[in-house]
Homo-oligomer: A and B are copies of this chain.
Amino acid sequence: MTSVPSRPARPSGRVNVCLGERSYSIHIGPGAADSLKLTDYVHGKRLLIVTNETVGPLYLDAIGRWFPGVEVDSVVLPDGERYKNLEGLDIIFSHLLKGGHDRKTTLVALGGGVIGDMTGFAAASYQRGVPFIQIPTSLLAQVDSSVGGKTGVNHTLGKNMIGAFYQPRVVIVDTDTLDTLPEREFRAGLAEIIKYGLIADLRFFDWLEAHLDDILQRDEEALTYAIQRSCQIKAEIVAADETEQGRRAILNFGHTFGHAIETFLHYRQWVHGEAISAGMLMALRLSVTGGTISPAEVNRIKSVFERCGLPTQPPAHMEADDFKRLMLRDKKALDGQMRLVTLQSLGNARVDTQFGETHLNAVLSEACGDSPSLNVAP
């Protein structure tokens, strides 16, 4: 079993995301920016920090001081996934243009996944591309959108339908910013961390299970390690398949189900981590019908999610037909063929087009309460 490395003054970690000329580093830990000269990553003499009305008041001034000698501008967006659309993006573009920002400006994303996705796509598109720096402040963003360059916005007809693959110059994961993260958001972030163990590293899942109490108490050493290992796993998968032609899709474990839930709820009520938590349980049950995972293993994982206070069933009023309609529209479908990620074994995911419609129907019916059970207690 992997254990946390012996305690230094303050824990720190670094992950290199290897993508040729688009390579960059993620610096992780409390005060992760302290030892860095961040102005090296600023292209011109100006930058625009994009943040939201929740994170901005907490960190905007402090982050501005990370860039001495640079003219720091900022724009504060409303907080929430429902502003992650073309209109929200236009607020950033208008601010850039009114402020006279040219092609040598640098964008800084200060906030959670929504801010990161929007700022990244704004950077990809503003004058056909300006550099950007990511400072993710939610646990989810730190382990998910900080790696891999997926940027974009939602459309009323589907999540993340408009965007670009665009890599940041550097990512700063200052775990001190987690001090102000609401408990519900923190636990939602854990869903993605658990995902990395399930899809690619059983030993990491074992470690998480063993250290879950430390993590839930936000112990900075355990957190730094959990974030670093998550970013490492994602970086390895992304480096092998930057634009998701094949294996990168395993990162979507639980996400096709989860996106259906989010779309059904119009991106309200449940946060992303909660939706994919229920989604992962559904994908696990589909793996059970395929015979690769045992009901006992599903129950083991389910209890980890429960300890995190994460949902293990879809919303009560959602029906099997809602899932089927929304999942077919998800962009993981190709030429009308639904692709789902299932587990071949714990710690080993695969993209699965052979799962069988009957099995899927059974999982959906069971999850939506239409049938009593499918070998797994609901």
Contacts and interface: CB of A to CB of B under 8 A. Distances in A.
B157 A97 contact: yes
B162 A102 contact: no
B329 A104 contact: no
Given A155-B93, A155-B94, A155-B97, A165 B128 contact: yes
Q: Oligomeric state, in number of copies?
A: 2
Contact of A128 (B94, B126, B152, B329): B152
A45 interface: yes
Contact of A243 (B94, B129, B163, B334): B129
Interface residues of A, number: 39
Interface string A72-91: 00000000000000100110
A164 B162 contact: no
B103 A334 contact: yes
B97 A129 contact: no
Contacts of A125: 121, 125, 152, 162-164
A195 interface: no
A158 interface: yes
B155 A128 contact: no
A162 B93 contact: yes
A331 interface: yes
A97 B329 contact: yes
Interface in A281-305: none
Contacts of A165: 128-129
A100 interface: yes
Contacts of A336: 100, 102
Interface of A: 44-46, 86, 89-90, 93-94, 97-98, 100, 102-104, 121, 124-129, 150, 152, 155, 157-158, 161-165, 243, 328-329, 331, 333-336
29 contacts: A46-B335, A86-B89, A93-B155, A93-B161, A94-B155, A97-B155, A97-B157, A97-B161, A97-B329, A100-B336, A102-B331, A102-B333, A102-B334, A102-B335, A103-B331, A103-B334, A104-B334, A104-B335, A124-B164, A125-B125, A125-B152, A125-B163, A127-B161, A127-B163, A127-B331, A128-B163, A128-B164, A129-B243, A164-B164
Given A97-B161, A125-B152, 13 more contacts: A46-B335, A93-B155, A97-B158, A100-B328, A100-B336, A102-B334, A102-B335, A103-B331, A103-B334, A104-B335, A125-B163, A127-B331, A129-B243
